[in-house]
Protein backbone atom coordinates (compact mmCIF):
# COMPACT_ATOMS: atom_id res chain seq x y z
CA UNK A 1 0.00 0.00 0.00
CA UNK A 2 2.91 2.37 0.57
CA UNK A 3 3.33 3.14 -3.15
CA UNK A 4 -0.32 4.21 -3.20
CA UNK A 5 -0.27 6.32 -0.04
CA UNK A 6 -0.33 9.64 -1.91
CA UNK A 7 -3.16 8.44 -4.17
CA UNK A 8 -5.22 7.33 -1.17
CA UNK A 9 -4.61 10.60 0.66
CA UNK A 10 -5.71 12.57 -2.40
CA UNK A 11 -8.83 10.42 -2.85
CA UNK A 12 -9.78 10.62 0.85
CA UNK A 13 -9.30 14.38 0.76
CA UNK A 14 -11.53 14.71 -2.28
CA UNK A 15 -14.29 12.42 -1.04
CA UNK A 16 -14.46 13.29 2.64
CA UNK A 17 -13.54 16.96 2.57
CA UNK A 18 -16.37 19.36 2.16
CA UNK A 19 -19.90 20.02 3.14
CA UNK A 20 -21.53 16.89 1.66
CA UNK A 21 -19.75 14.56 4.09
CA UNK A 22 -20.19 16.98 6.99
CA UNK A 23 -23.91 17.36 6.27
CA UNK A 24 -24.44 13.60 6.17
CA UNK A 25 -22.62 13.15 9.48
CA UNK A 26 -24.56 16.05 11.02
CA UNK A 27 -27.83 14.40 9.91
CA UNK A 28 -26.69 11.16 11.54
CA UNK A 29 -25.98 12.92 14.81
CA UNK A 30 -29.30 14.79 14.62
CA UNK A 31 -31.13 11.49 14.14
CA UNK A 32 -29.30 9.95 17.08
CA UNK A 33 -29.12 12.73 19.67
CA UNK A 34 -31.37 15.53 20.87
CA UNK A 35 -30.04 19.10 20.88
CA UNK A 36 -29.67 18.92 24.66
CA UNK A 37 -27.67 15.68 24.36
CA UNK A 38 -25.41 17.22 21.71
CA UNK A 39 -24.76 20.17 24.03
CA UNK A 40 -23.93 17.74 26.83
CA UNK A 41 -21.48 15.95 24.52
CA UNK A 42 -19.79 19.23 23.65
CA UNK A 43 -19.46 20.05 27.34
CA UNK A 44 -18.13 16.56 28.07
CA UNK A 45 -15.47 16.79 25.37
CA UNK A 46 -14.21 19.98 27.01
CA UNK A 47 -13.51 18.11 30.26
CA UNK A 48 -10.19 16.33 30.94
CA UNK A 49 -11.90 12.93 30.57
CA UNK A 50 -13.53 14.03 27.33
CA UNK A 51 -10.16 15.15 26.00
CA UNK A 52 -8.64 11.83 27.01
CA UNK A 53 -11.46 10.00 25.28
CA UNK A 54 -10.88 11.96 22.07
CA UNK A 55 -7.25 10.91 22.05
CA UNK A 56 -7.73 7.27 23.11
CA UNK A 57 -10.95 6.34 21.28
CA UNK A 58 -9.37 5.72 17.85
CA UNK A 59 -6.87 3.25 19.32
CA UNK A 60 -9.54 1.59 21.46
CA UNK A 61 -11.75 1.23 18.40
CA UNK A 62 -8.89 -0.23 16.35
CA UNK A 63 -7.93 -2.68 19.07
CA UNK A 64 -11.55 -3.69 19.69
CA UNK A 65 -11.94 -4.43 15.99
CA UNK A 66 -8.76 -6.47 16.08
CA UNK A 67 -10.10 -8.51 19.01
CA UNK A 68 -13.29 -9.17 17.04
CA UNK A 69 -11.34 -10.35 14.00
CA UNK A 70 -9.16 -12.63 16.14
CA UNK A 71 -12.18 -14.13 17.88
CA UNK A 72 -13.99 -14.67 14.58
CA UNK A 73 -10.92 -16.41 13.13
CA UNK A 74 -10.59 -18.62 16.20
CA UNK A 75 -14.20 -19.75 15.85
CA UNK A 76 -14.30 -20.00 12.06
CA UNK A 77 -14.27 -23.83 12.11
CA UNK A 78 -17.47 -23.76 14.18
CA UNK A 79 -19.14 -21.52 11.63
CA UNK A 80 -17.98 -23.74 8.79
CA UNK A 81 -19.45 -26.79 10.57
CA UNK A 82 -22.73 -24.97 11.14
CA UNK A 83 -22.89 -23.91 7.48
CA UNK A 84 -22.20 -27.46 6.31
CA UNK A 85 -24.94 -28.78 8.58
CA UNK A 86 -27.39 -26.21 7.21
CA UNK A 87 -26.38 -27.10 3.67
CA UNK A 88 -27.12 -30.76 4.40
CA UNK A 89 -30.50 -29.84 5.91
CA UNK A 90 -31.43 -27.79 2.87
CA UNK A 91 -30.33 -30.57 0.56
CA UNK A 92 -32.48 -33.07 2.45
CA UNK A 93 -35.47 -30.71 2.41
CA UNK A 94 -35.04 -30.20 -1.31
CA UNK A 95 -34.92 -33.94 -1.92
CA UNK A 96 -38.02 -34.54 0.21
CA UNK A 97 -39.90 -31.80 -1.64
CA UNK A 98 -39.31 -33.39 -5.05
Q: Are 29 and 39 in contact (CB under 8 A)?
A: no
pLDDT tens-digit profile, the chain (98 residues): 688 888 888 888 888 887 788 899 999 999 999 999 999 999 999 999 999 999 999 999 999 999 999 999 999 999 999 999 999 999 999 998 76
Ranges of each domain in the chain? 2-97
Close Cβ partners of 65 (under 8 Å, ≥ 6 residues apart): none
pLDDT of residue 1: 67
Q: What is the pTM of this model?
A: 0.57
Close Cβ partners of 1 (under 8 Å, ≥ 6 residues apart): 8
pLDDT of residue 20: 85
Amino acid sequence: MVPYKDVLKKWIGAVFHGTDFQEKVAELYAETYTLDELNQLVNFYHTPLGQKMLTTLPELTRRSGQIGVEMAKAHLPELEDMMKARQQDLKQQSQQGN
